[in-house]
Structure formats: structure tokens, C-alpha cells
């Protein structure tokens, strides 16, 4: 079977038919689309396909190689899982935006040139904003708006970088870029906003927890991982990325410890996990780049699984804050088990997917002799277990009994979570198939006795720390609160800016208006009544200022008479003379302007 | 009304049992560790139970720093951003 279309089009064009279908047909159709995409990707061989020539530009819709295929596979798989999870959703536009979003992510990953990449990049931003808005709450609407503004800003950085890059190199092909000069920095920052670089990250924990229970599952998979892909394509081995990545692994976990909204905790840990991938790109060895791709693959699955389990809790109870939850293992036992599988995978417990992917990156840092980076990654590994591995399942399903009695998640949600959990454990037990789709040959054995015992110790004693702090009452209690993050600068900054515009700004504008439209105009009216006489008054005023004291009284008197008698007799002998005078002045000005302008 | 089944953690002594198993597991890890042949990247990471001690210290530091440094700086009322 060879259907000759770009892979992205199955989901994007397929989405357009969703509104015309109903009930079981629609469910069947939606589940088939991502499966079709996945099998289509399996059938593709490496190479460059679907190039379209527009004017002098060549758009490349299909650059198929191992790097893009690995991301393509996992995007199709998570779309399949996410769609099953969303089968209860009635909102057609919500479903369409999810399909278009996933399709655009595939388009971006297979794009071989900057223009194609940019187009899909922007489609993703708008589709994601719509997914956030689908929650239809006031908070979601404003968070979606902020999301869109941040990503449009990122898109502007990207397109400016692309345009300058084109003029510098004459090429729009998207290959290795590397950091040198303005254009590459602009592209780097454009990518960096989507990858949630520190300080540029605040859109993520701001917006993701506000979407619907299904929307966040899609959101968690595509935007940051597409950014990881383009960074791996354009900036492998860029040293700066090592430090950015290490910082990303470390700082969000402090926020995750004190955050009350459990989906926001997961959003912070998402940044932490992307930090590992970014570090891997920065190290730039075959081992670390393999690690980045493997970790992106596994991360998408267990992060989706965690967001699905929290989504099921939100769907059934309407609550997501740790302060409101607890004891749900009694009514949602299967969801509890799936959540624990996701939590174990993100923590890198042996026999789960995180164990076989994260260790590639940590080993690459260790083998490169990067002591501080290695310690930061180890700290982040312990920390992620602490907040995602323990905190999420503990506060939602155990902890004190909140008294909430509800039902198990709906069947389709359980199937979706079960699939993701199966893959998390499957990859952990049998990493071979995952390793075989990585961009470089893998010569790495995760299951050595030393690695297993080291990782188990790291996790078990982190759990001991949690247990001791909990039992002694030192562990910070969950508090309903807002924790300030970098978005403070634009959320409060925008308010301060509006205040400045409305208060001092408005007063200043009123003064400027008054000056230009009243004072200047009335002076001109006064002046043109009798210019010659007016100039005479001006001359006498000047004279008064510089004259000797004896003459001053005389001039004062004369000035007073002149002002009283103004405009006096029109001393212009002929009006034609005035017109000629003004015309001459006007033409002179034109002459001067054109002389300098041309 | 149907009486709710008594769940695992509601039974007296359950938590103690879980904790006991957990502590025994920790002790086993601690005892086994020195007999495993390690491949350290640096030199200190080959010491017995380096990973365990690191995990314990790191997490205590993480929680204390989050509680006593980060929280006082960034925590605001829940309606802080509302108009």
C-alpha cells in the first residue's frame, strides 16, 4: 500500500471530517486515524519526500530519517492513546483541535525546511491555545490567551531568525545550525520558548493545568517534545544547552514540592524531564543523543499516563488540589495502580521505561567527566521521585481520607491508561525495540547489577527521606495558594503597564494634546492675523530682555501699546504677497527634503 | 445503607506493617551494596551506599529548601491574580 501523502495530513485533513460523524462511527473513525498514521510511518523508508516548489523556495514536507521517525512513531502512539482516553468528549471543536495539534506536531517533525517548520509551528500554537480554551472556565480562557501571546512572541523570534538566516546563507534547509550570530540566537530562543527554557518556561505550569482532563494529555506530549526534536536537529553539542538543561532539571522540583494543584506538580516535573533531554542534546555524543530520543519517547508515555490518571480523578471528583483529595484508592483502585506505574516510570524504577532511558543521559554526563552536571542530574533524579513518584499518588490516592467516594474511571479511560502502563513496563523489561529505533547504534546495557542497586538505593533512600519528614511533621503541609513564577513579570507587568498608561501616561498625553492642538494653534491664529506686526512684538520682547535699564521703561510702554493695538492695521500691502511668501517657504522646504532624501 | 468495606490502610497496624517491610528492604539494600562490583564515573561514587546517602541528603535538602526558602518568597493568596 503506498498512499503518497505527508504523514501529517492524515490527522489534519482527517480532523475536518469529525464534525460530520456521530456516535460509534465517530469513535471508530477517531481511533483509526492515529493507527493509520502509525502504520503509514512504519511503511516509510528514509529519504526526502514531498517537496513543493513555490516561487524560488522549496518546501520539504517529508525529511524521513531515524531522528524524525522516532519522534513520529511516539507522536502517533500517544495520539492513539489520547484519543481512546477522549472518547467521552462531546465537544467537536475540542477533538478537532487535538487532532490538528497532533498532526501539526508530526508536520513540524518531518519538515525539512524552515518555512514548513514555521507553518506547522504556528498551527500548533493556535491549536494548543484552543485545547486550553476548551475547558471554558475563566481561568482557562485567560491562561490560553497568555499561552498564545507567549507562543506568538516565540514564533516572531523564530521567523525573524529564519529570515536573517536566509539572507546570510541563502538556504532555507533546516539542518545543523549551531550558535553563531544573531540569526541563530533568534532561532535558538524561538525553540527555547517551546522547550520551556528557565525563565521562558512559565507558560507551561500556567496553562497546562487549566485545560480539560483530556486536553492536558495532548498538550503534555507535543509542544515541548517538538522543541526537543528541533534542538536535537539544529543544536546538538551546543555547550550552553548542558547548563540550561541541568538548570531545568533542578529548579522546577522545588516548586513541585510546595505546589498544591497536582496537575501543576506534573507540569513542573515535565520541565524537569525535558531538562534531561536538553542536557543530552548539549552533551552531543552518540550516547547522549540516543538518550535524549529514548527519554523523549518514554517520557511522552509516562507523562501522558500520569496526566490521564490525574485527569480521571478530576473527571470523577471535580477536584485536583492535594488539599481536597486523599483516600481515593478505595474507589479508584485501577486508576491508582496505573498512576503508580506512571510514577515509577518517571522516577526510573528498574523494570520501567524511565530506568532504561534516563540512564543513557546520566551515563553520558558521567562518561564526559562533567562532575557538577552529573550531580545536578542525580539530584534531579532523586527529586523527581520525591514529587512525581511519591507526592502525586500519595496525596491523590492515599494520605488522609478526604471522604470522597466515587466510581472507578470510565472504561475507555482505563483502556487508555492500561495501554500506556503496559508500554511503560514493556519498554522497561525489553528495551531492545526502543534502542533499535534510536538515531545511533546503541552499545549500552541498563541492567547491570551495579546500576540496578545504585538506582534502587537512590530511590529507596529518597523515599526514606519522605517517610521521615512526613512522620516527623516537617514535610510542608499542602496549602491553597498561588506560587509566583516567571509569569509574574508579564501578568503583573501587564497590569503595571496598563496603570502607567491610564494614569501618568494619560495625563502626559492630555498635556501634549493641549499644547499641540490648543496653544500652538491659537498662537498660529494670532500670528497669522498680522505676521509683520507680530514679529515686531517679538523683536521688542527680545529687546526688552537685553536692553539697558534706562531704556527699559520706554520699551515696556511701547510693547504694551503694540499688544493692545494688535492686530492693528494690516500692513501687508497685497494679499498676493503673503501667498507668494508662503509658497516660497513651502517650496524651499520641499527642496531641502528632496535634496537630503534622494 | 451498605456498610463500607474496611480498606487496607483503615485497619489498625497496616501502616506499621508497610513501614516495617520498607525498613527491612532498606537494610537489605545497605548490606548488599558493598558486595556489588561498581563502575564509578568519578571515584567517590564507587563508595558503598553512595547513591543511598546522596538520595537521602538530597531529598531532605530539597524539602527544607522548598519549605523554608522558596515558599516564603513565592507563596501568595489563592486569589492573588484574580481581579
The residue that leads in pLDDT, A505 or A571, is A505
DSSP string, A382-401: HHHIIIIIIIHHHHHHSSS-
Give the A window 398-437 contacts with B, CB below 8 Å.
398, 401, 405
Confidence of residue B1 (pLDDT cuts 50, 70, 90): very low
How far off is chain A from B46, nearest CA to CA, in Å? 10
User: Residue B38: its pLDDT value, please?
Assistant: 84
Confidence of residue A481 (pLDDT cuts 50, 70, 90): confident
Give the A window 322-351 contacts with B, CB below 8 Å.
329-330
Q: What average pLDDT score do residues A2-10 get?
A: 80
Residue A68's SS3 state is: helix
In this predicted model, what pLDDT tens digit does every residue of A36-87 receive, in sequence order? 999 999 998 888 888 888 877 888 898 999 999 999 999 999 999 999 999 9
Confidence of residue A496 (pLDDT cuts 50, 70, 90): confident
User: Residue A568: its pLDDT value, please?
Assistant: 66
Torsion of CA A107, A131, A274, A414, to 10 degrees: -100
HSE (side-chain half, CA atoms, 13 Å) at A594: 6
DSSP string, A151-190: HHHHHHHHHHHHHHHHHHHS--B-S---S-SHHHHHHHHH
Q: Give A90's DSSP letter.
A: -
Our measurement of the distance from residue A538's CA atom to the centroid of its chain's CA atoms, rounded to an integer in Å, reads: 63
User: Residue A1: its pLDDT value, please?
Assistant: 40
pLDDT at residue A387 is higher than 50: yes
Q: What average pLDDT score do residues A321-336 get?
A: 91
pLDDT at residue A572 is higher than 60: no
Rounded CA-CA distance A439/A486 in Å is 35
Rounded CA-CA distance A44/A589 in Å is 68
In this predicted model, what pLDDT tens digit does every residue of B27-45 receive, in sequence order? 999 998 888 888 888 888 8
pLDDT at residue A575 is higher than 70: no
Q: What average pLDDT score do residues A275-296 get?
A: 96
Verify whether the Cβ–Cβ distance A485 to B49 is below 8 Å.
no
Confidence of residue B55 (pLDDT cuts 50, 70, 90): very high
pLDDT at residue A349 is higher than 60: yes
In this predicted model, what pLDDT tens digit does every residue of A397-408 receive, in sequence order? 988 888 888 889
**If you count them, how many residues does chain A have?**
598
Rounded CA-CA distance A263/A24 in Å is 31
pLDDT at residue B73 is higher than 50: yes
Q: What average pLDDT score do residues A488-497 get?
A: 86
Mutate to test the interface with B, among A399, A482, A487, A494 (most CBs of B within 10 A): A482
From chain A, pick out residues whose CB is under 8 angstroms from the CB of B71: 258, 476, 483
Query: What is the complex's ipTM, to 2 decimals?
Result: 0.90
Beta bridge partners of A53: A58
How far off is chain B from A390, nearest CA to CA, in Å? 12
Residue pair A211/A219 in contact (Cβ under 8 Å)? The answer is: yes
Rounded CA-CA distance A482/A477 in Å is 14
Q: What average pLDDT score do residues A510-517 get?
A: 86
pTM over 0.80: yes
The residue that leads in pLDDT, A546 or A127, is A127
Which of A178-192 are b and which e, b meaning 16 or more Cβ less than 10 Å from the residue's Cβ?
eeeeebbebbbbbbb
Rounded CA-CA distance A56/A546 in Å is 70
For B55, which of A369, A459, A467 is closest by C-beta distance? A459
User: Residue B6: its pLDDT value, please?
Assistant: 77
Which residues, including other chains, have CB under 8 Å from residue A393's CB and lie 6 or more apart? Answer: A336, A339, A340, A343
Amino acid at each position: 500500500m503506498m498512499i503518497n501523502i505527508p504523514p501529517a495530513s492524515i490527522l489534519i485533513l482527517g480532523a475536518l471530517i469529525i464534525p460530520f460523524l456521530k456516535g460509534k462511527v465517530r469513535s471508530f473513525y477517531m481511533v483509526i486515524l492515529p493507527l493509520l498514521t502509525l502504520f503509514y510511518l512504519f511503511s516509510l523508508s528514509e529519504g526526502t519526500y514531498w517537496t513543493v516548489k513555490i516561487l524560488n523556495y522549496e518546501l520539504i514536507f517529508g525529511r524521513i530519517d531515524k531522528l524524525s521517525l522516532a519522534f513520529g512513531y511516539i507522536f502517533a502512539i500517544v495520539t492513539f492513546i489520547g484519543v481512546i482516553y477522549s472518547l467521552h468528549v462531546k465537544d467537536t471543536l475540542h477533538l478537532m483541535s487535538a487532532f490538528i495539534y497532533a498532526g501539526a506536531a508530526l508536520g513540524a517533525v518531518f519538515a525539512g525546511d524552515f518555512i514548513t517548520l514555521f507553518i506547522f509551528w504556528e498551527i500548533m500554537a493556535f491549536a494548543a491555545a484552543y485545547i486550553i480554551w476548551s475547558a471554558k472556565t475563566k481561568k482557562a480562557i485567560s491562561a490560553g490567551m497568555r499561552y498564545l501571546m507567549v507562543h506568538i512572541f516565540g514564533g516572531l523570534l523564530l521567523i525573524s531568525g529564519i529570515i536573517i538566516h536566509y539572507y546570510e546563507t541563502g538556504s532555507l534547509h533546516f539542518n545543523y545550525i549551531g550558535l553563531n550570530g544573531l540569526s541563530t540566537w533568534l532561532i535558538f530562543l524561538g525553540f527555547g520558548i517551546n522547550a520551556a527554557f528557565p525563565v521562558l518556561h512559565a507558560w507551561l505550569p500556567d496553562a497546562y493545568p487549566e485545560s480539560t482532563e483530556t486536553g492536558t494529555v495532548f498538550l503534555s506530549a507535543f509542544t515541548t517534545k517538538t522543541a526537543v526534536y528541533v534542538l536535537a536537529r539544529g543544536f546538538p553539542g551546543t555547550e550552553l544547552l548542558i547548563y540550561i538543561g541541568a538548570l531545568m532539571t533542578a529548579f522546577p522540583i522545588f516548586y513541585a514540592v510546595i505546589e498544591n494543584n497536582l496537575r501543576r506538580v506534573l507540569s513542573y516535573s515535565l520541565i524537569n524531564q525535558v531538562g534531561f533531554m536538553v542536557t543530552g542534546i548539549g552533551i552531543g555524543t552518540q550516547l547522549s543523543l540516543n538518550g535524549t530520543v529514548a527519554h523523549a519517547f518514554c517520557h511522552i508515555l509516562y507523562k501522558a499516563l500520569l496526566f490521564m490518571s490525574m485527569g480521571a480523578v478530576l473527571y470523577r471528583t471535580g477536584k485536583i488540589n492535594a488539599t481536597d483529595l486523599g483516600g481515593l484508592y478505595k474507589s479508584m483502585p485501577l486508576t491508582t495502580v496505573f498512576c503508580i506505574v506512571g510514577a515509577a516510570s518517571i522516577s526510573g524504577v528498574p523494570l520501567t521505561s524511565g530506568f532504561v532511558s534516563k540512564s543513557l543521559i546520566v551515563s553520558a554526563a558521567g562518561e564526559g567527566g562533567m562532575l557538577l552536571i552529573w550531580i545536578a542530574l542525580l539530584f534531579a533524579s532523586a527529586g523527581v521521585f520525591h514529587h512525581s513518584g511519591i507526592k502525586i499518588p500519595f496525596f491523590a490516592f492515599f494520605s488522609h481520607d478526604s471522604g470522597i467516594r466515587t466510581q472507578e474511571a470510565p472504561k475507555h479511560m482505563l483502556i487508555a491508561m492500561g495501554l500506556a502502563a503496559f508500554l511503560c513496563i514493556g519498554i522497561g523489561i525489553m528495551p531492545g525495540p526502543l534502542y533499535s529505533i534510536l538515531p545511533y547504534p546503541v552499545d549500552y546495557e541498563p541492567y547491570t547489577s551495579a546500576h540496578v542497586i545504585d538506582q534502587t538505593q537512590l530511590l529507596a533512600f529518597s523515599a526514606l527521606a519522605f517517610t521521615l519528614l512526613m512522620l516527623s511533621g516537617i514535610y510542608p503541609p499542602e496549602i491553597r495558594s498561588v506560587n509566583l513564577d516567571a509569569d509574574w513579570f508579564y501578568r503583573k507587568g501587564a497590569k503595571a503597564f496598563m496603570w502607567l498608561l491610564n494614569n501618568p501616561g494619560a495625563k502626559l498625553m492630555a498635556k501634549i494634546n493641549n499644547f499641540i492642538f490648543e496653544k500652538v494653534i491659537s498662537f498660529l491664529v494670532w500670528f497669522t492675523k498680522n505676521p509683520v506686526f507680530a514679529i515686531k512684538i517679538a523683536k521688542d520682547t527680545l529687546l526688552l530682555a537685553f536692553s539697558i535699564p534706562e531704556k527699559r521703561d520706554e520699551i515696556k510702554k511701547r510693547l504694551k501699546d503694540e499688544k493692545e493695538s494688535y492686530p492693528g492695521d494690516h500692513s501687508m500691502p497685497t494679499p498676493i504677497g503673503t501667498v507668494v511668501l508662503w509658497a516660497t517657504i513651502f517650496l524651499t522646504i520641499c527642496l531641502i527634503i528632496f535634496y537630503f532624501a534622494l | 445503607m451498605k456498610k463500607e468495606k474496611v480498606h487496607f490502610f483503615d485497619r489498625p497496624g497496616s501502616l506499621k506493617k508497610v513501614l516495617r517491610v520498607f525498613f527491612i528492604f532498606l537494610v537489605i539494600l545497605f548490606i548488599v551494596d558493598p558486595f556489588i562490583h561498581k563502575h564509578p564515573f568519578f571515584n567517590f561514587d564507587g563508595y558503598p551506599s553512595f547513591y543511598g546517602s546522596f538520595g537521602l541528603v538530597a531529598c531532605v535538602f530539597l524539602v527544607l529548601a522548598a519549605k523554608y526558602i522558596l515558599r516564603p518568597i513565592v507563596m501568595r493568596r489563592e486569589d492573588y491574580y484574580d481581579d
